[in-house]
């Protein structure tokens, strides 16, 4: 048995998990000042790119299941950030659109990407290395999506 394989310091997954958790914590004070959570911010980012999208498209863009996204959207609708309406062409489809409040949040949160970006920068992560890091992570995500579940190996 290879004991090295079971050392915490040798686990890429642990580093990714820790970085993700700490990065989400960096967003917290910036978003909570506007009554938002990080997952809500991600939904806003998707809708700021393209408004009036089906729930399925939003879920796909966030790499989440619709049953995970739906309660999030319902809370955001109650807060007046977005609206959900049945699709014109397909009544089974729910279309999500930003409200005036949701659109105004883009301006109110305009400093968030820069502020978090400055928090992330360090010796090995610079503005020049970020695109390469994004490409590596995108490649990892795409690769993991095509792999069978661990229990199927």
CATH number at residue 61: 1.10.10.10
* Cα-only R_g, the chain: 18
Using an 8 Å Cβ cutoff, are 19 and 33 in contact?
no
Q: pTM score, two decimals?
A: 0.89
Q: Which of 108, 53, 112 is nearest to 85 (CA)?
A: 53
* Sign of the dihedral through C-alpha 103, 134, 72, 18: negative
pLDDT score of 57 more than 60:
yes
**Structural domain boundaries enclosing 54:** 3-152
**What's the pLDDT at 51?**
98
| CA 146-144-147 angle, 5° bins | 40
> How would residue 54 be classed by pLDDT, with cut points 50, 70 and 90?
very high
Total domains in the fold of the chain:
1
pLDDT one-digit tens code per residue, 8-43: 999 999 999 999 999 999 999 999 999 999 999 999
* Other C-beta atoms lying within 10 Å of the C-beta of residue 58: 23
Q: What is the C-alpha separation between 33 and 118, in angstroms, rounded?
A: 19
Q: What is the C-alpha separation between 135 and 3, in angstroms, rounded?
A: 31
pLDDT one-digit tens code per residue, 80-92: 999 999 877 777 7
Helix or strand run (H / E) with residue 114: helix 112-120
């Amino acid at each position: 048995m290879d004991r090295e394989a079971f050392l915490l310091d040798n686990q890429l997954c642990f580093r990714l998990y820790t970085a993700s958790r700490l990065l989400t914590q960096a967003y917290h004070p910036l978003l909570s000042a506007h009554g938002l959570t990080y997952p809500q911010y991600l939904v806003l980012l998707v809708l700021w790119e393209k408004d009036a999208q089906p729930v399925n498209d939003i879920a796909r863009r966030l790499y989440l299941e619709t049953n995970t996204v739906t309660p999030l959207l319902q809370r955001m609708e109650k807060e007046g950030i977005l609206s959900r309406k049945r699709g014109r062409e397909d009544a089974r489809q729910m279309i999500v659109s930003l409200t005036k409040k949701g659109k105004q949040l883009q301006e109110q949160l305009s400093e968030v990407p820069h502020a978090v970006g400055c928090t992330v920068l360090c010796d090995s992560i610079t503005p020049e290395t970020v695109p390469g890091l994004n490409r590596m992570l995108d490649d990892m995500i795409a690769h993991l999506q095509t792999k069978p579940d661990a229990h199927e190996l």
